[in-house]
Structure 1
Amino acid sequence: MKTPAASLHYYIGLMSGTSLDGVDAALVAIAPDTLPRLVATHAEPMPKALHALLMHLCHAEQVSFAELAEAETAFCELQANAVAMLLAQQGMLANQISAIGSHGQTIEHAPYGHHGGPAYTLQLDNPSLLAELTLCTVVADFRRRDLAAGGQAAPLAPAFHQALFGQEEGEQLILNLGGFANVTWLPSDRMQPVIGFDTGPANVLLDAWFAKHQGGRFDTDGAWAASGNINHPLLERLLEEPFFHQPPPRSTGRELFHLAWLERRLVGNETAADVQATLAELTAVSVAQGIQQLPLSHESATLISAGGGAHNAYLMCRLAYHLPNTIFKSPAAYGWPEDWIEAGAFAWLAHQRLCHQPGNLPSVTGACGSRVLGGIYAR
């Protein structure tokens, strides 16, 4: 039986992650009693000037309001271009979109506060401008309501993972390898709470080290990392970071893991390729350690891998080594290719907001309860 057209709604999710490589736009169809369906996608590359400005804002100790305004406007124009391209690709009009879910660009994420100050998370965005540029209703500022409720405001994707994959039999693991890695555990007993948390860096250090020594944005297929050897003393020093030993809920960002953090742990005799191999090993080991903390009901588990890191052949090989009883599965088998789950999550979160339904999972973020996330900026 086909779903009546009147009950089918289209949303666009916009995501620009910590890799700062562009804006992902996902067109998602949502209807009652059906799983969210990915309809179309568009990736809008990040201009070099905006990339440089955002990187500066992420690491600068002081910034000006003028710099913030310049970056915010340029970022919103990039988002609007992504929406326009996606609509043109599908021959759709703005009034056919129920809402855009905009994550914004994370500039700083401090769920534990800073030097004893209050917890905060900052996503650069201007949903008012985005609504004007696209003529669509925009839902934005998803994270701070969870933070206000005592949560870490991240990760938010596990709620979408539950909606997308929770109908499958047995327990599921969903691993996102973006700038940072996070894992979601969907228990086979649906009465048990979902667990999800950041395990540590994924691409953020790999990309930064590659850019410094090879001059590109990322290490394709992990080829450069594969040419090096794992430096085990360095790996041990990296794994001493207290974050890796914190129990969930936990989340992190560039504030902790960045190039200077890495360089402070080098002794000076490492080759650049060996450091790259060691950074890939750091991601694989920290993911494996995180999964080992979960109350899995079986020794073997199915893991759905997503994010840009899922295309890194060397990294996936190291993950398979450290998780020998794990069956790796592509989300493409469910109609959701690796690169589009994060953007799809914010389309779904926009839908949740318009329907006045919660978007967070307290068992994941540590919030004191379920909350409706995001503010609405009407077209």
Structure 2
Amino acid sequence: MSDLYIGMMSGTSLDGVDAVLVRFDAAGRPTLLADHAIPYPDEVKAEVLALQPCGDNELDRSSRLANRLAEIYASAARELLESADHHPADIHAIACHGQTIRHAPHAGYTIQLGNMSRLAELAGIDVIADFRSRDVAAGGHGAPLVPAFQRGVFSSPDERRVILNIGGISNLARLHPGREAIGFDCGPGNMLMDAWSLRHTGRPYDDDGRWAASGQADQALLQSMLAEPYLQAPPPKSTGRDLFDDNWLARQLATQAEAPAPADVQATLLALSARSIADAILRHCPGNQAVYVCGGGARNGALLAELGRLLAGQRIAPIEALGLPAQSIEAIAFAWLGWCFNQRRAGNLPAVTGAAGPRILGVLHPR
């Protein structure tokens, strides 16, 4: 039986689909063989965002979008295999996260959209998907799931370290020798900064944080943002666009007597991301020595510089220092979750998600 898996991740940043080809050994240790990314077309981004709040004709709109996503995922798989000179018959399964449009574990559900039966049909490969729902059914948040993978791959007997992913939402995994691994969503990562940049500059993100660096953080606005109850809540916890969206930012801005300049708002949003991350590490990871960063935020120099200032004495380094590329970590993690499903191994960490116990995650869609 093949030990090759394709992992696919499309996150809250809505950049597109990251796909990886991974070989696993008998212990589940990964070797990355190839990676590939496909950006979302603008109309797909717009439809995902339009489905975040409740609206009209949701069943038809979400089903049509699920079909479109399946086509994008199938293209990603085909192009990935072509680049690596492999064929569908070589692959045990595609492990696909899908695109989150609603995350409501408090109501007992989470929705990652994508017609996975259609993906299996188009790709000619078994598909494993819907990894979060089983954890939610067991009383968990269904997130974050990546820390279980990170514990096995990145733990060190000699260093107290945090693996920090800065995507649309930031999340961390605490990997300290002799202590239970924990992980949770810290708060907004790139999501609010990206949206503000697009609105005021026309650019989908603030390259290296240069625009934010041109402004000054508004301290009154920052303190109002930091008072958000989610940021003070203890783990386990998870969040997303259901909370930190444009409406949340509009409400924060409405509390100010005078609207800050757009560049100052961007600087404040960067400060919010940095503070929420640093506060989470200082509060829940005492004695931490090193922070290894992955996700799109790993390319934001201004954000990393602010984290270095707030976490003085801790090493801030890219995840590449541990042997895997930053942009591929989550896709590799979902390939690993697909491997766990086929091995009938639990893929969650109850201490991270809050589930009642270890659970096998995923649903199989045969080719």
TM-score, length basis structure 1: 0.93
* Residue equivalent to 1:355: 343
Query: Residue deviations 1:238-291, cap 9 Å, x none?
Result: 011100110000100101001111111112421000000000000000001111
* Residue equivalent to 1:214: 201
Contact 1:38 / 1:335 at 8 angstroms: preserved in 2? no
* Residue equivalent to 2:123: 134
Give the whole-Å Cα distance in 1 for the aligned partners of 2:94 and 2:199. Answer: 35
Residue 345 (structure 1) aligned to one of 319, 333, 337 = 333
Give the whole-Å Cα distance in 2 for the aligned partners of 1:34 and 1:66. Answer: 39
* Residue equivalent to 1:269: 259
Counting only pairs closer than 5 Å after superposition, residues 59-208 of structure 1 correspond to structure 2 as 59-113=53-107, 119-167=108-156, 169-189=158-178, 192-208=179-195
Structure 1 residues 240 and 167: CA distance shift in structure 2, 3 A: closer
Letter in 1 for 2:158: E
Structure 1 residues 378 and 311: CA distance shift in structure 2, 3 A: same
Deviates more, 1:55-64 or 1:79-88: 55-64
Structure 1 residues 26 and 211: CA distance shift in structure 2, 3 A: same
Give the whole-Å Cα distance in 2 for the aligned partners of 1:273 and 1:45. Answer: 27
Give the whole-Å Cα distance in 2 for the aligned partners of 1:155 and 1:62. Answer: 30
Runs of 5+ in structure 2 lacking a partner? Answer: none
Counting only pairs closer than 5 Å after superposition, residues 357-376 of structure 1 correspond to structure 2 as 357-376=345-364
* Residue equivalent to 1:332: 320
Give the whole-Å Cα distance in 1 for the aligned partners of 2:284 and 2:56. Answer: 39
Letter in 1 for 2:59: F
State the 1:334 CA deviation: 2.9
* Residue equivalent to 1:306: 294
State the 1:60 CA deviation: 4.2
Paired residues in the alignment total: 364
Deviates more, 1:335-344 or 1:58-67: 58-67
CA RMSD in angstroms comes to 1.3
4+ aligned runs moved over 4 Å, structure 1 = none
Residue 218 (structure 2) aligned to one of 207, 231, 236 = 231
Contact 1:37 / 1:335 at 8 angstroms: preserved in 2? no
Identity of aligned pairs, percent? 44
TM-score, length basis structure 2: 0.96
State the 1:55 CA deviation: 1.1
Give the whole-Å Cα distance in 2 for the aligned partners of 1:123 and 1:22. Answer: 14
Counting only pairs closer than 5 Å after superposition, residues 231-310 of structure 1 correspond to structure 2 as 231-266=218-253, 267=256, 268-296=258-286, 298=287, 300-310=288-298
Residue 44 (structure 1) aligned to one of 38, 45, 53 = 38
Residue 13 (structure 1) aligned to one of 7, 15, 26 = 7
